[in-house]
Amino acid sequence: MGRNKVLVKLSPEGKFLVDITKNINISKCTVNTRVALLSDSFKLHRIFPTKVDPLVSLMKVEKVPDSTYDMVGGLDEQIKEIKEVIELPIKHPEIFESLGIAQPKGVLLYGPPGTGKTLLARAVAHHTDCTFIRVSGSELVQKYIGEGSRMVRELFVMAREHAPSLIFMDEIDSIGSQRTEGESGDTEVQRTMLELLNQLDGFESTQNIKIIMATNRIDILDDALLRPGRIDRKIEFPNPNEDARLEILKIHSRKMNLVRGINLRKISQQMKGASGAESKAVCTEAGMFALRERRKHVTQEDFEMAVSRVMKKDSDWNTSLKKLWK
């Protein structure tokens, strides 16, 4: 077989050994490359880009997220762990080679809603300066048989082409739940998960492709998805304590026009059990109360009223509805 000949598979005819034209670089003719042949001589005269589903290509975020670690409050331990698993292997792979250990492939972020899982994933993508591919698990649940599995395959093909890349799979419990016996509508979802497991096993950790998965329900995930070698570390995101809430309030209020003497520590003490998202909502609501009063500054009273509104319990909402329709 000469240097100017390649093996091409035509459907449905079969496989042919064909010549290439002078303008084709044979080094680009790799396995699974899409090419065009001349109809008369069957010479290879053009190389096409890889076929990718438009829905999959839309998952790639062109602009790197502008979130930084400074914007994440109360998660110092979680930031340290995700740096070790994701950022360090991409920036300094030689450290793992010198130690003789394999690089981690992926990490699972789990915890209640609003605790900063997505925010931290965006911050990691910003600091690693790699291609950020974000996909929701529900997007991989398709109507027709095989569509979800095909999207998973093309997702990893795109990640390899744009390496170093970071795949962030949110709501992974929508396709990664535990498998059950019997016939049901979840069969196609299980096929999609099996293809995901196959892809996780199919790439080496040295390919600069890292996986971040996020879920609120780790208790329903399949054990095959959680085993080491696929997901190497699981990081818990609990609701913030008082000091963490104070730090989050400081982060989201540092650009606000506050009057002097505002006691954010007192505000954080009133928000027992609040998530990070609720802490951010308190700052936004405080600004809205000031806006309602046509003021250009936010007071302590605005924050206290915002806490009472954001932290209002379901029983209080039911009471309000009863009064409204009385």
Instruction: Provide the token pair at 40.
Output: 């008369």
- Domains, in order of start, for the chain: 5-48 (no CATH), 55-236 (3.40.50.300), 242-312 (1.10.8.60)
**For the chain, what is the radius of gyration of the CA atoms?**
26
Mean pLDDT in consecutive groups of 10 residues from the start of the chain, 326 residues: 74 78 77 80 78 60 71 86 88 87 88 88 85 82 75 84 85 80 66 84 73 88 84 88 89 87 88 87 90 89 88 54 45
Instruction: Provide the token pair at 253.
Output: 């209020």
Question: Residue 64 has what pLDDT?
Answer: 64
Residue 212, beta-bridge partner list: 107, 168
- Secondary structure of residue 100 in the 3-state scheme: coil
Rounded to 5 degrees, what are φ and ψ at 133?
-115, 115
Q: What does the DSSP 8-state code read for residue 258? A: B
Question: Residue 59 has what pLDDT?
Answer: 60
Question: Residue 37 has what pLDDT?
Answer: 84
Question: Residue 110 has what pLDDT?
Answer: 92
Please enumerate in sequence order all residues whose Cβ is within 8 A of that of 130, keeping only pairs 6 or more positions apart, or say none: 90, 163, 164, 165, 166, 208
In 10 A of CB 276, how many CB atoms? 27
Rounded to whole angstroms, how far apart are CA atoms 246 and 244? Answer: 5
Rounded to whole angstroms, how far apart are CA atoms 182 and 154? Answer: 29
DSSP letters spanning 196-233? HHHHHHHS-GGGSEEEEEEES-GGGB-HHHHSTTTS-E
Q: What does the DSSP 8-state code read for residue 137? A: G
The pTM of the full predicted model, rounded to 2 decimals, is 0.75
Question: Residue 157 has what pLDDT?
Answer: 83
Helix (H) or strand (E) holding 89: helix 88-91
DSSP letters spanning 5-21? EEEEEETTTEEEEEEB-
Question: Residue 126 has what pLDDT?
Answer: 84
Rounded to 5 degrees, what are φ and ψ at 238?
-80, 170
- Residue of 274, 268, 258, 255 lying closest to 312 (CA atoms): 274
Q: Distances from the Cα of 104 to the Cαs of 57, 84, 117, 134, 205, in angstroms?
A: 26, 9, 19, 19, 6
Question: Residue 109 has what pLDDT?
Answer: 92
